[in-house]
Amino acid sequence: MSKSGPDGKPFDIPKRLVVQAWKQVKVNGGAAGVDGQSIADFEADLKNNLYKVWNRMSSGTYFPPAVRAVEIPKASGGTRMLGVPTVTAYCAVALVW
């Protein structure tokens, strides 16, 4: 893969877009994923965590971790499984949308 971005990364992803993605994730809220890291925990080391998201996404090495399975009730009775991604995965998804 050729190095196309100004940082020598294959994908040119401006860091400001990672910050915008984070802001959207924070507004939406949500539960901790399989890693147990809440939005507050992620924010406690925000600069480092956002750098990791940017670095992995722009270098093409990001792979989302497993999701946490949670049973939620259905209106018609019974339950269904819901996959809860990690905060990092939320940021990665918000970045590409």
The number of folded domains in the chain is: 1
The Cα–Cα gap between 95 and 90 comes to 9
**Domain assignment of residue 4, yes or no:** no
User: pLDDT for 37-94, tens place per residue?
Assistant: 999 999 999 999 999 999 999 999 999 999 999 999 999 999 999 999 999 999 999 9
Instruction: Report residue 2's pLDDT band, with 50, 70 and 90 as the boundaries.
Output: low
**Domain assignment of residue 65, yes or no:** yes
Instruction: Report residue 13's pLDDT band, with 50, 70 and 90 as the boundaries.
Output: very high
CA distances from 37 to 33, 62, 73, 79, 96 (A): 7, 18, 24, 25, 21
The residue range of the domain holding 64 is: 15-96
The Cα–Cα gap between 75 and 10 comes to 46
pLDDT at residue 97 in the model? 85
Instruction: Report residue 9's pLDDT band, with 50, 70 and 90 as the boundaries.
Output: confident
